[in-house]
């Protein structure tokens, strides 16, 4: 079982250690509250050759060891990219919110979305907030991502969480995928938002953040993508 060493950040700025035992990792997709916006992401994938799922929202089970807070992610091949997502964690009867990246193999995604999800690690910010603190202001929380590094960073995605289906609805849907419906120990990625501009962005660096303007705070992550270029030949 994967253990994540996280910090629970309180509104006043103090933090407490939280050791989270990951029992399961579940990825939601195509979760836009506005179906026109949701279809924009579908169209982005179709343009790249990905076949859209028959049912939305969709859920994909991923081995729990693939989620981590590392800052360097090793991948097979060059055609992989990140997607910023809000993330819910269910721990001892409580819910927590963080932000992460569903890094995905785009070539394999053309054949199978489900299989593409298990080819790359999933990145999680090292800090979380209590869901209770943000649930009333959920729609105004701002999600962003960038590709590139330092001064060459380019905004890649940006939208408020109001663009997503309501979290309670997504939780209920997730429960229907789990035997017994108990989400304790689950890391649930809630889906992503459309790209600013056009086309998937392939970069050696990916970063994202979730901003709570009301409390003047944010959760963030950043990582470097490292292809396995030490391999001889094509794999």
Q: What is the pLDDT of residues 40-51, one digit of tens each?
A: 666 776 777 777
**What DSSP character marks residue 116?**
H
In this prediction, residue 38 carries a pLDDT of 65
11 pLDDT higher than 80: yes
Q: Is 111 part of any domain?
A: yes
Ranges 175-179, 185-189, 218-222: which has the least confidence: 175-179
Q: Is 235 part of any domain?
A: no
Burial of 100 (0-12, 13-18, 19+ CB in 10 A): buried
What is the side-by-side strand order in the sheet with 205-212?
A: 72-75, 217-227, 205-212, 142-147, 154-160
Q: Are 193 and 157 a contacting pair, CB within 8 Å? A: yes
Nearest CA to 25 among 80, 68, 84, 82? 68
234 pLDDT higher than 70: no
Q: Is 53 part of any domain?
A: yes
Q: Is 84 part of any domain?
A: yes
- Tell me the C-alpha distance between 158 and 17, whole Å: 30
Q: Positive or negative, the Cα torsion across 119, 124, 130, 132? A: negative
Q: Phi, psi (5° rounding) for residue 73?
A: -120, 120
CATH number of residue 41's parent domain: 3.90.850.10
CA distance readout (Å), 31 to 21, 85, 162, 190: 26, 11, 11, 7
Q: Is 144 part of any domain?
A: yes
Q: Is 85 part of any domain?
A: yes
**What DSSP character marks residue 102?**
E
Q: Is 146 part of any domain?
A: yes
pLDDT digits (tens, 9 = 90+) for 190-208: 999 988 977 788 899 999 9
Q: Is 215 part of any domain?
A: yes
Domain around 139: 19-227
In this prediction, residue 154 carries a pLDDT of 93
Q: Sorting pLDDT into bands at 50, 70 and 90, what band is 135?
A: very high
- Per the prediction, the chain carries an average pLDDT of 91
Count of domains in the chain? 1
Enumerate the H helices of 98-229 as residue ranges. Answer: 106-109, 113-117, 131-134, 167-175
Q: Are 62 and 68 a contacting pair, CB within 8 Å? A: no
Q: Sorting pLDDT into bands at 50, 70 and 90, what band is 30?
A: confident
In this prediction, residue 41 carries a pLDDT of 65
Mean predicted confidence (pLDDT) in 48-63: 83
This prediction has a pTM of 0.93
pLDDT digits (tens, 9 = 90+) for 80-118: 999 999 999 999 999 999 999 999 999 898 888 889 999
């Amino acid at each position: 079982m994967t253990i994540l060493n996280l910090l629970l950040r309180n509104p006043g700025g103090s933090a407490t250690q939280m050791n989270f035992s990951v029992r399961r990792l579940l990825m939601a997709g195509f979760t836009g509250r506005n179906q026109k916006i949701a279809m924009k992401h579908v169209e982005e994938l179709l343009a790249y050759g990905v076949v859209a799922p028959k049912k939305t929202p969709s859920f994909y089970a991923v081995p729990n060891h693939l989620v981590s807070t590392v800052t360097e992610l090793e991948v097979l091949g060059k055609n992989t990219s990140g997607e910023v997502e809000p993330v819910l964690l269910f721990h001892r009867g409580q819910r927590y919110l963080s932000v992460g990246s569903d890094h995905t193999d785009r070539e394999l995604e053309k054949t199978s979305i489900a299989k593409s999800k298990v080819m790359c690690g999933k990145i999680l910010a090292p800090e979380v907030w209590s869901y209770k603190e943000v649930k009333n202001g959920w729609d105004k929380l701002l999600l962003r991502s960038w590709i590139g590094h330092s001064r060459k960073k380019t905004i890649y995605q940006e939208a408020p969480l109001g663009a997503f289906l309501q979290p309670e609805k997504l939780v209920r849907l997730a429960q229907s995928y789990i035997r017994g419906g108990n989400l304790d120990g689950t890391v649930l990625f809630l889906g992503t938002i459309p790209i600013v501009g056009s086309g998937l962005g392939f970069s050696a660096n990916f970063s994202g953040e979730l901003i709570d303007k009301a409390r003047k705070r944010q959760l963030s992550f950043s990582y470097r993508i490292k292809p396995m270029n030490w391999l001889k030949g094509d794999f």
